[in-house]
Copies of this chain bind each other. A is one copy, B any other.
Amino acid sequence: MKIHKEKITFKSSAQIEFIDMTEDIQTVVENSGIRAGTVNVFLQHTTMGIIINHNEPMLLQDFMRVLYHFAPVEERYSHDLFELKKTNKADGRSNGHSHCKAMLVGSNVTVPVENGRMILSDLQSIFAVEFDGSRDRDVIVQVNG
């Protein structure tokens, strides 16, 4: 099996944000020289998730709203007390809701590669979804063929 791995690095700019990684990931597939196989997109973060869906700005608002209802920011999360005690100051990150959203969405997707391209349809984009920005982030892209 041939393996090619790259890390895509970026800085998220908002607390909740959908970052379309499709072109960057396709570039890694091309860099790999692998014509057929799979690409595994994996996050090393616990307050982000990976989603494949339609990059339509109004739809992304809908996604944010349903994710918000799943784990509302204004509820109390036990984890926020842990963060507060750890930092011993009032500006500890209150990100229990971010972990909960990440748990829902998941940390990896595996996409088939054929003729050197991911076989996504025209309506599919691969998003890294930030739930606790802004932060320096990276996405692991591993092509196997």
A residues contacting B by CB (< 8 A) are 1-3, 5, 36-38, 40, 42, 44-46, 51-54, 56, 58-59, 61-63, 66, 70-71, 77-79, 81-82, 96, 99-100, 102-112, 114, 119-121, 123-124, 140, 142, 144-145
A54 surroundings in chain B (CB, below 8 A): 46, 99
Copies of this chain: 3
- Are B53 and A124 in contact, CB atoms less than 8 angstroms apart? no
Which of B2, B59, B123 is A96 in contact with, Cβ under 8 Å? B59
- Are B140 and A51 in contact, CB atoms less than 8 angstroms apart? no
Known contacts A3-B37, A38-B144, A123-B46; decide if A79 and B56 are in contact (CB<8 Å). Answer: yes
